Amino acid sequence: QVQFAESGGGEVQPGGSLRLSCVASGSLAYSMGWYLQSPGNQRRIIARIRDSGTTYYADSVKGRFTISRDNAKKTVYLQMDSLKPEDTGVYYCNNVYDTSSWGQGTQVTVSS
């Protein structure tokens, strides 16, 4: 089973930016997603990208986050701009159609 390793999180002030990376142990799936688990909330998908490059964003991040993928590098990225305190949480990436296992995620904290 392909495993994912997320990185790039950290603490940033509101309005700041971060770029997350997710490296896969094998080939990227047809549809890859970034998920956010905020404190006290269930993990939810916030962005996904198909192999064709088609993307989807949750309303909460539309216009601020950009998902991309590099199949040759087996890596999915999430560029996060204009960060808000409500973006705080642990970010994970995964195969949208097989979420049976998860990586450790990367913590993002947006705070002044």
Task: Look at residue 21 in the predicted model and tell me its pLDDT.
Answer: 98
Task: Look at residue 10 in the predicted model and tell me its pLDDT.
Answer: 98
Residues of the chain with pLDDT under 70: none
Percent over 90 (pLDDT), the chain: 99
- Of 72, 73, 1, 60, give the one whose Cα is nearest residue 34: 60
Task: Look at residue 19 in the predicted model and tell me its pLDDT.
Answer: 98
Task: Look at residue 54 in the predicted model and tell me its pLDDT.
Answer: 98
Task: Look at residue 24 in the predicted model and tell me its pLDDT.
Answer: 97
Task: Look at residue 32 in the predicted model and tell me its pLDDT.
Answer: 98
What SS3 state is found at 56?
strand
Asked whether the beta carbons of 92 and 102 are under 8 A apart, the reply is: yes
